[in-house]
Amino acid sequence: MNYHWNWGIYLEQIKGGEETYLSWLVTGLQWTVAVSLCSWVIALLLGFLVGTLRTTPRRWVARLCSAYVELFRNIPLLVQMFLWFFVMPELLPRNLSLWVKQEMPAKEFVTATICLGLFTSARIAEQVRAGIQSLPRGQSYAGLAMGFTLPQTYRYVLLPMAIRIIIPPLTSEFMNVFKNSSVAFAIGVLELTFQARQMQEDSEQGIETYLAVTLLYFACAFVTHLGMSWIERKTRVPGLISTAK
């Protein structure tokens, strides 16, 4: 194994440029965090909506939502990225399509965020559904018997409990969002993986590059984990979920 180590590479200047390689990595980290957080917001909103609707008594609504989940779960994320990026603009009305292709600001970023958001929302919907269904049936009966309407029952009785129950799987899903955001490199978002490939080709210091990027991904996952455990501790219902941990 004859590898030329160079740990100073991060501070060296990019060939034919002013910046250092470190600045590439920092840009990458910023895009990764931006894509992940924005799509997490989309995913949470849609995921809760779809997941809740899947448990309602209205048959056709539940069906529709199941179809939504199946659609997004059974196509690889990378293929979905390409669909949103290359195929979607063509299907829009002519004016809008031109605008999307030529003028839309931060086109790659918006596309990647929407794609990752919807992809994750399907998975969150599954967890929300599981959370609601894990509640005893009596809870919703009790709510309805108290004179709550169905939306009120969901708002005040079912969801507050269900959300707390599914916080642990939501945590790992949040960490998955960071991992999945790496797929956005394929449509040209300048996030960490993209920068890693670029830096590796440019500097030919592959191991140092990938090591730094891997550590940054670790850091993202770690911070997410800390944040979510904090929320979990704060919202715990005494006696319901095992308090010993």
- Interface contacts to another protein, rule CB under 8 A: 1, 3, 70-71, 73-80, 82-83, 86-87, 90, 175, 178-183, 185-186, 193, 196-197, 200, 206-207, 210, 213-214, 217-218, 221
Residue 79 C-beta: closest distance to another protein, Å: 5
Nearer to another protein, 43 or 126 (CB): 126
Closest approach of Cβ 193 to another protein, in Å?
Answer: 5
Q: Are 181 and 113 in contact (CB under 8 A)?
A: no
Single-letter code of the amino acid located at 13: Q
Answer yes or no: are the C-beta atoms of 115 and 177 closer than 8 Å.
no
**By C-beta, is 179 or 233 nearer to another protein?**
179
Least separation in angstroms between CB 120 and another protein: 14
Nearer to another protein, 3 or 7 (CB): 3
CB of 197 to another protein, least distance (A): 7
Cβ proximity to another protein: between 73 and 233 the closer is: 73
d(CA 173, CA 122): 11
Q: What is the 3-state secondary structure (H, E, C) of 78-126?
A: HHHHHHHHHHHHHHCCHHHHHHHHHCCCCHHHHHHHHHHHHHHHHHHHH
Q: Give the nearest distance from C-beta 219 to another protein in angstroms.
A: 11
**Under a CB-based contact definition with an 8 Å cutoff, are residues 132 and 55 in contact?**
yes
Radius of gyration of the CA atoms of the chain, in A: 22
Instruction: Kindly state the greatest CA–CA separation across the chain.
Output: 75
When the beta carbons of 5 and 60 are compared against another protein, the nearer one is: 5
